[in-house]
């Protein structure tokens, strides 16, 4: 019974008090978000995880890579808990550490010594990983002079990278990489995509000599569903509609929208609208529905008429939240996420570079 679960979560949280901090990503369902001490995008939640050194446990209602990041940024004796260990991210899984290492070796064959700076002080390639990647990938990036970005700071991070390298290898999300670089004025012709089945070099060596951003083939299965046809339909049916999409959407969708921005950008844009407005939003449906409920003066709907939740975010059922909190009350830590030290040290460096890269 949902009401029972609600009561159990509240009771356990009350008994635990400041010993536990519950973090909830914007894409979590309402029955989970209502119990979160902090609700935010992946950047804000990473900051929140770092900001509570006195809590014994951080219960992360989000997906696996976010819990790993929280573990990297929180204290060594704090436990980060993911209520359901099956809450992964299909995009993060698309950048496999062995494939990334292989790509890096191929790039080294083309560009030479990857650590050697040219006359302008730039190394051949700086690796940049989206937050939506495993700790192993963040560790790779940290070991190779690279940095992490989120959808809210991708441009700032790419600028940071171009101050240090001729080119960027961006993974896992091709769309965030392409949309961000395009907005910075990088021509599409200078954004080749690394393809594991068509090794770089040889016939496409010219393309690579000019490359500014080498894209990875990853994508988000939720944001890939949005289309220009949906935007056209929204504009036809709702004259004056304001269309805002997440930069994980394909480039043609971002180009057809009025604005593109991270989940927190979308939230702030709606909050800042003083006149009643119709918004068509291209991001995960739980966030869109919550924003619609919070802003009855506006008409807010999801561009995709078929409800499209992130199925892995949805795996954080309130029942799991109740179980993890009640276990803590009973003195037991379940579902702890721990990043091993050899990966954690370089991964933390890559994350700290992001936190320090102010616009």
| Residues at the contact surface with ligand SF4, assessed by CB under 6 A | 27, 63, 89-91, 132, 220-222, 284, 310, 312-313
Q: Which is nearer to ligand 13P, 43 or 219 (CB)?
A: 43
Q: Give me the phi and psi of 22, to 5 degrees please.
A: -105, 125
89 among annotated binding-site residues: yes
In whole angstroms, give the CA distance from residue 33 to residue 60. 11
Sheet holding 299-302, edge to edge: 259-260, 242-245, 278-282, 299-302
Indicate the residue among 262 and 323 with the shorter CB distance to ligand 13P: 262
**Nearest distance from residue 256's CB to ligand 13P, in Å?**
20
**Annotated binding residue 247:** yes
Smallest distance from the beta carbon of 130 to ligand SF4, in angstroms? 8
Which residues does 344 contact at the CB level (< 8 Å), separation at least 6?
A: 71, 72, 135, 139
* Rounded CA separation 250/229 (Å): 13
Nearer Cβ to ligand SF4 (26/323): 26
CA–CA distance, 67 with 49 (Å, rounded to integer): 9
From the CB of 26, what's the least distance to ligand SF4, in Å? 10
Q: Which of 326, 312, 347 is nearest to 86 (CA)?
A: 312
Residues with Cβ within 8 Å of 123's Cβ and at least 6 positions away in sequence, in order, are: 114, 115, 116, 117, 145, 164, 165, 166
130 labeled binding residue: yes
Residue 312 binding target from ligand 13P, ligand SF4, none, CB below 5 to 8 Å by type = ligand SF4
Peptide bond just before 172 cis, omega within 30 deg? yes
Residue 63 or 80 with smaller CB distance to ligand SF4: 63
User: Residue 42 binds which one of ligand 13P, ligand SF4, none, with CB within 5 to 8 A depending on kind?
Assistant: ligand 13P
Q: Is 308 annotated as a binding residue?
A: no
CA-to-CA distance for 265 and 346, rounded, in angstroms?
Answer: 29
86 vs 205 by CB, closer to ligand 13P: 86
90 contact choice in ligand SF4, ligand 13P, none (CB below 5 to 8 Å, kind-dependent): ligand SF4
Kindly list the residues in this chain that would bind ligand 13P in the complex (CB under 6 A). Answer: 41-43, 132, 150-152, 220, 248, 262-263
List, as residue ranges, the binding site for [4Fe-4S] cluster: 89, 220, 310
């Amino acid at each position: 019974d949902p009401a029972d679960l609600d009561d159990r979560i509240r009771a356990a949280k009350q008994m635990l008090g400041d010993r536990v901090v519950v973090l909830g990503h914007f894409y979590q369902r309402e029955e989970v978000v209502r119990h979160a001490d902090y609700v935010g995008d992946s950047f804000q939640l990473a900051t929140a995880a770092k900001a509570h050194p006195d809590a014994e446990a951080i219960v992360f209602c989000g997906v696996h890579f976010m819990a790993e990041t929280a573990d990297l940024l929180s204290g060594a004796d704090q436990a980060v808990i993911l209520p359901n260990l099956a809450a992964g991210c299909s995009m993060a899984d698309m950048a496999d550490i062995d494939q990334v290492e292989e790509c890096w070796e191929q790039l080294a064959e083309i560009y030479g010594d990857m650590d050697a700076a040219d006359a302008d002080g730039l190394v051949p390639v700086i690796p940049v990983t989206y937050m939506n990647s495993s700790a192993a990938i963040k560790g790779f990036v940290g070991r190779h002079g690279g940095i992490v970005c989120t959808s809210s700071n991708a441009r700032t991070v790419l600028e940071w990278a171009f101050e240090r390298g001729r080119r960027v290898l961006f993974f896992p999300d091709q769309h965030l990489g392409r949309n961000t670089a395009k907005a910075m004025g990088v021509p599409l012709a200078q954004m080749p995509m690394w393809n594991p089945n068509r090794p770089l070099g040889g016939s496409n060596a010219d393309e690579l000599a000019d490359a500014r951003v080498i894209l990875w083939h990853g994508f988000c299965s939720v944001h890939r569903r949005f289309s220009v046809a949906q935007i056209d339909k929204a504009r036809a049916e709702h004259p004056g509609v304001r269309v805002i999409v997440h930069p994980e959407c394909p480039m043609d969708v971002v180009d057809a929208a009025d604005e593109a921005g991270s989940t927190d950008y979308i939230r702030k844009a709606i909050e800042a609208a003083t006149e009643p407005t119709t918004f068509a939003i291209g991001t995960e449906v739980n966030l869109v529905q919550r924003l619609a409920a919070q802003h009855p003066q506006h008409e807010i709907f999801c561009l995709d008429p078929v409800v499209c939740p992130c199925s892995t975010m949805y795996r954080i059922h309130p029942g799991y939240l109740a179980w993890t909190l009640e276990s803590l009350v009973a003195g037991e830590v379940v579902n702890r996420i721990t990043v091993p030290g050899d990966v954690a040290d370089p991964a933390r460096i890559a994350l700290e570079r992001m936190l320090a890269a102010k616009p």
